[in-house]
Amino acid sequence: MAYTIIFENLDKRSLPLVGGKNASLGELIKAGIKVPPGFAVTTAGYLDFITQAGIASRIVEILAGLNVEDVSALNSAAAEIQELIKGAHLPEDISGAIETGYAELCHKCGLKAVPVAVRSSATAEDLPTASFAGQQDTYLWVEGADRVVDRVQKCWASLYTPRAISYRVRNQFPHEKVLISVGIQKMVNSKAAGVMFTINPTDGDPSKILIEGNWGLGETVVSGSVNPDKFLVDKVMRETVSRTISTKHIECVYDPVSREVINADTDPERQCQCCLEEREVKALVQAARDIEAHYGRAMDIEWAIDRDFPFPDNLFIVQARPETVWSQRKAESKIGAKSGYQLLLEQAMKRIKVSE
Amino acid sequence: MAEEKAGRFPDPHEFKVPPELEGWEEMYPSHHLFSGDRADWEKQQFWYQDKIHAPEPMPPLDLLFQEAWQISLSQYTTRVFCIPPAQGIAQRMVGCYMYICAIAPPPPEVIGEKAELFGKRVFYVFDHYEELWDKWLTKFKALGEEMKALKVPAELPKFVPEDQVLPAPVGFYDSYKLIAAFDTLVNQMFKGWQYHFEMLNLTYLAYLMFGDVCRKLFPGISESAIGKMVAGAYVSMFRPEEELCRLSRLATESPEVAAVLKSSAAVNKKIADLEKTPAGKNWLKAYDAAKDPWFYVSCGSGWLHYEGSWISNPEIPYGYIKSYMERLEKGETIERSLENIDKEREEIVAEYRKLIKTEDDKKSFDGAFNTIRTIYRYAEDHLFWVEHWFHTIWFDKVRKFGKLLVDNGMLNEVDDIFMFHRYEIPELLTEVATAWALGVDIPVRGDFYKTKAEKRRNILKAAGEWNPTPALGIPPEEVAEPFTIMLWGVTTDKVKEWLKGVSSPKAGDVKEIKGFAASAGVVEGPARVLKLLKEIVDLKPGEIIVCPNTNPSWAPVFTNIKAAVTDIGGLTSHAAIVCREYGVPSVTGTGIATSVIKTGDILKVDGDTGVVTIVKRAG
């Protein structure tokens, strides 16, 4: 069983091996969507690691009979497992595979140490019925093979945060059935980034696409730490129905000094400036339509626009998962089954209130 | 609400027009004036300026069309198809501008009676639309031909011809015929306008209904999208342009014909040159065959006598033919792609339909869609036949009377006839007929009428400089009349806007104007204000046209403009339809665009929201 697989060789059937996030990146590439290059560290890598490092059985023991309602017991069990994982020695063939994968990605991008995002990709996440959203760690702007390997191990450990453990118990997901893979993806040097839904999340209107964005990396939008610019677009006509330009105080950017991403104050003149050009909105709408058409359902998508490339090569999709809120609801009729004449008579009886 | 000073407009009876307009009242019939004897009722209504039909000061005779629509539109709503809570629209003139008001709903028992009749009468129309349309067109064309055939004496004879006296006297002669001819002409116009609304109220009602269904299913769906779903490709309004394309292609088949038509000679010379060759004769024959009805197109809205038509200005169609031929030589396609328009419409409808989640809603959507599609062509087709073809015939006939009045010393110029309202013209004609009947060298009161015409021209000019209040009286509680909602967009927001604008800012201070979001898209570019069609020669590619309104005779310009902004017209106006077809952003029915925007101003046209922003003033 391979420890790493490049995204191009993944699709939705790869889920047990690479988790939801990575499988969906492969699926997007198959659908002709532009996704930054990268590879997945498979669940086999995680499984062989905990087995060979001799910590697998210990994890099972700690979790057996744990009462997740007991907060302090939950916290100490979680801490203990995470320490086990982070402290265990990673077998050379697994770390070697990750290093090789990273070296090949560097070669592909023509860089010595390409900055990458290291993201957890659990096998129980981004399902149409349960999002498990944001339960596991993500590390941005990781440079160098050693750091990448270290962050992979940290992602594995994040499978056992108190929240993740209790979520599984409450949703009756057996722990041993939930495995973790890690995605290693070239960082988009985002001029602007954000999220889009192929449905209006406020009212479930399926004819709209909602785009939200901010300057810098998409984390400020995803985490809700900023009021993003909003575009509500008619999916069929591709017309912007409404646009809200917000005051965006902060942006998530890479800080070369600390070699980490930080939330920095946005310079005043860009705070009230729209983070997207008209043509970029149009291109995002096209991508949203393509993604929705490929999956045949409403989707929740993360996008980024790279400052290093010219338009339209600068537009990347970094994530797509099924929308879970409206898609779970039973659709209710808004009008009822009426004939044209019934509707005409109703219209004829209408009066429009004019004064207040 | 009525007591709130802030929430109302000036009382129409206390409102003062500028002194330069003194004497304006006599230009219009008494029933079009605010008056003491109707004051109680008039004070309670909400009157707003009708910038859709009367954006310019109203020449007295041109008021006839307004008079005709007031009666016709209202009667179909109140007495014929009986739209239950809706009543008619009343008109009043104030200083050469027209104000209208939608009458409040009738008492509940009347609404009940009307509802019963509505069901019986209206659904029948939808069930038999195709057949009724054929009947409509047949009778309308017949009426137009009747008007064309109407004899207006070119001059009054020295003595009536022998054959009218012997073997038996006809018994009535030119003095009678002259007056009767004008009466007949007026009656024909009124009849034409009765036909005009035959199915238009129902079309608008169906459009509002379909729009409402769309908005329930897809909140915030644009008017432009709704318009695209219902529009037809094969409509009369586009025929003039299609005929031009056909004639242009025909011309390119013969080098000698092409050479003549591409020259910059005057139209008369072109025709004379074409007459010299068989191919040229053939082409002229084809032109003449197309001319009636398809070149009976107004260069404006068809509402005003000074707009002119293709028939009266053949240099317009010939000019288009010349530019079409040049484009053909460059290998461009000049025709609208009808198949694409139809295909695009079907794709849009199918895509929205696919998004509907429940079978019940799908059924309603289909019912609503089929209902509007059944009748919508009426909105597109009637416009050509009535406002263009029929009005063009009318203006031509009226000018024949004008010429007779000039020849008989009553007026200085043919078009001075338009300075008199329709009840006054019989007086002028009677004066001429009387003088003729009385014998030789009988004086007429020519100076009296010439002075009057002159004075009225000056009043109209002064009125053009005046920016009157957008509204008068008290805003209504509710409106049900479909035209009021659709054409004038009367809503709470609109009324608020008018209230804000009670003290209209100076044209130069306006930064933003609002209209209908008729065709989607946002663009920025330089404005080209075109008050009259003949100014089109100044238009440069990539400019934004700003004009009173557009119509079939403007169609050829749409291929190289950035956007269109009009004073007049709603979501189903020509500009709206053509812009949607060509994918050009458009804001229609702003009411004031041509008066506040100057050529060279940089505009931002937002066809998604219906807002036009003046980004930078020229120079």
Contacts of B265 (CB under 8 A, 6+ apart): B273
Give the Cβ contact number of residue A32 at 10 Å.
10
β-bridge mates for residue A322, sequence order? A299
The 10s digit of each residue's pLDDT in B391-411 is: 999 999 999 999 999 999 999
Put simply, whether B126 touches A (Cβ < 8 Å) is yes
Beginning with the edge strand found earlier in the chain, give each strand of the sheet holding A229-234 in spatial order.
Answer: A239-244, A229-234, A208-215, A190-197, A299-306, A315-322
Q: Where are the beta strands (DSSP E) in B365-432?
A: none
Is residue B217 within 8 Å of A198, Cβ to Cβ? no
Put simply, whether A129 touches B (Cβ < 8 Å) is no
Query: Which run of H or E residues covers position B111?
Result: helix B108-127
Q: Give, as one character, the DSSP assignment of residue A89.
A: P
Put simply, whether A341 touches B (Cβ < 8 Å) is yes
- Residues of chain A with Cβ-Cβ distance to B357 below 8 Å are 206, 331
Closest CA of chain B from A328, distance in Å: 13
Among B205, B217, B364, select the one facing A338 at the smallest CB separation. B364
Lowest mean pLDDT among B27-41, B69-83, B589-603: B589-603
In angstroms, the CA B590 to CA B611 distance is 9
How many contacts, defined by CB atoms under 8 Å, are there between A and B?
156
- Looking at per-residue pLDDT, the higher value among A128 and B76 belongs to B76
In angstroms, the CA A160 to CA A77 distance is 9
In angstroms, the CA B185 to CA B394 distance is 8
Taking an 8 Å cut-off on Cβ atoms, the answer to whether B608 and A240 are in contact is yes
Is residue A168 within 8 Å of A63, Cβ to Cβ? no
pLDDT of residue B506: 66
Taking an 8 Å cut-off on Cβ atoms, the answer to whether B358 and A241 are in contact is no
- Specify burial of residue A158 (Cβ count, 10 A radius: 0-12, 13-18, 19+): buried
β-bridge mates for residue B547, sequence order? B566
Lowest mean pLDDT among B281-285, B382-386, B530-534: B530-534
Q: What is the mean pLDDT of residues B367-374?
A: 95
Lowest mean pLDDT among A28-32, A158-162, B110-114, B574-578: B574-578
Among A208, A347, A354, select the one facing B491 at the smallest CB separation. A354
Among B126, B351, B364, select the one facing A336 at the smallest CB separation. B364
Taking an 8 Å cut-off on Cβ atoms, the answer to whether A237 and B228 are in contact is yes
Among B83, B213, B492, select the one facing A343 at the smallest CB separation. B213
Q: What is the mean pLDDT of residues B170-197?
A: 97
Residues 220-249 of B with CB under 8 A from A: 220-222, 224-225, 228
- B246: its two tokens: 């056909």
The 10s digit of each residue's pLDDT in A331-356 is: 889 999 999 999 999 999 988 887 76
Put simply, whether A278 touches B (Cβ < 8 Å) is yes
Q: What is the mean pLDDT of residues B260-268?
A: 94
Q: Where does the pLDDT of residue B537 fall: very low under 50, low under 70, confident under 90, or very high at 90 and above?
A: confident
Is residue B182 within 8 Å of B425, Cβ to Cβ? yes
pLDDT of residue B40: 93
Is residue A353 within 8 Å of B1, Cβ to Cβ? no
Determine the residue among A280, A330, A335 to mutate to test chain B binding: the one whose Cβ has the most chain B Cβ atoms within 10 Å: A335
Taking an 8 Å cut-off on Cβ atoms, the answer to whether B363 and A345 are in contact is no
Taking an 8 Å cut-off on Cβ atoms, the answer to whether B348 and A236 are in contact is yes
The torsion angles phi and psi of B584, rounded to 5 degrees, stand at: -105, 125
Q: Where does the pLDDT of residue B336 fall: very low under 50, low under 70, confident under 90, or very high at 90 and above?
A: confident
Taking an 8 Å cut-off on Cβ atoms, the answer to whether B216 and A207 are in contact is no
The 10s digit of each residue's pLDDT in B544-556 is: 999 887 777 777 7
pLDDT of residue B238: 86
**3-class state of residue B126 by DSSP:** helix
Give the Cβ contact number of residue B289 at 10 Å.
11
In angstroms, the CA B567 to CA B518 distance is 13
Percent of chain B with pLDDT over 90: 70
- Specify burial of residue A52 (Cβ count, 10 A radius: 0-12, 13-18, 19+): middle
Q: Where does the pLDDT of residue B2 fall: very low under 50, low under 70, confident under 90, or very high at 90 and above?
A: very low
In chain A, the residue whose alpha carbon lies closest to the alpha carbon of B475 is A355
Q: What is the Cβ-side half-sphere exposure of residue A347, based on CA atoms within 13 angstroms?
A: 29
pLDDT of residue A2: 92
Put simply, whether A1 touches B (Cβ < 8 Å) is no
pTM: 0.88
**3-class state of residue B606 by DSSP:** strand
Lowest mean pLDDT among B261-265, B271-275, B428-432, B574-578: B574-578
**Angle in degrees, CA A324, A328, A330, rounded to 5:** 150
Q: What is the mean pLDDT of residues A39-62?
A: 93
Q: Where does the pLDDT of residue B504 fall: very low under 50, low under 70, confident under 90, or very high at 90 and above?
A: low
Please give the distance of CA B352 from its chain centroid, rounded to a whole number. Answer: 33
Q: Could you please report the per-residue DSSP string of A97-114?
A: HHHHHHHHHHHHHT-SS-
In angstroms, the CA B79 to CA B88 distance is 10
Q: Where does the pLDDT of residue A177 fall: very low under 50, low under 70, confident under 90, or very high at 90 and above?
A: confident
Q: Dihedral sign for Cα A124, A304, A293, B357, please.
A: positive
Is residue A337 within 8 Å of B363, Cβ to Cβ? yes
Helices (H), A55-120: 56-63, 71-87, 92-109
Give the Cβ contact number of residue B232 at 10 Å.
19
Which amino acid is present at B158? Answer: K
Is residue A305 within 8 Å of A194, Cβ to Cβ? no
Does the pLDDT of residue B1 top 50, yes or no?
Answer: no
Percent of chain B with pLDDT over 70: 97
Q: What is the mean pLDDT of residues B296-323?
A: 92
Q: Is the peptide bond before B167 cis (omega within 30 degrees of 0)?
A: yes
Put simply, whether B123 touches A (Cβ < 8 Å) is yes
pLDDT of residue A135: 67
Determine the residue among A200, A207, A276, A339 to mutate to test chain B binding: the one whose Cβ has the most chain B Cβ atoms within 10 Å: A207
In angstroms, the CA B603 to CA B521 distance is 14
Percent of chain A with pLDDT over 90: 72
pLDDT of residue B4: 39
The 10s digit of each residue's pLDDT in B446-503 is: 999 999 999 999 999 999 988 888 889 888 778 888 888 877 777 777 777 777 765 5
**3-class state of residue B322 by DSSP:** helix
Contacts of B499 (CB under 8 A, 6+ apart): B6, B7, B9, B471, B475
Contacts of B261 (CB under 8 A, 6+ apart): B251, B270, B274, B283, B318, B321, B322, B325
Is residue B510 within 8 Å of B596, Cβ to Cβ? yes
Is residue B120 within 8 Å of B66, Cβ to Cβ? no
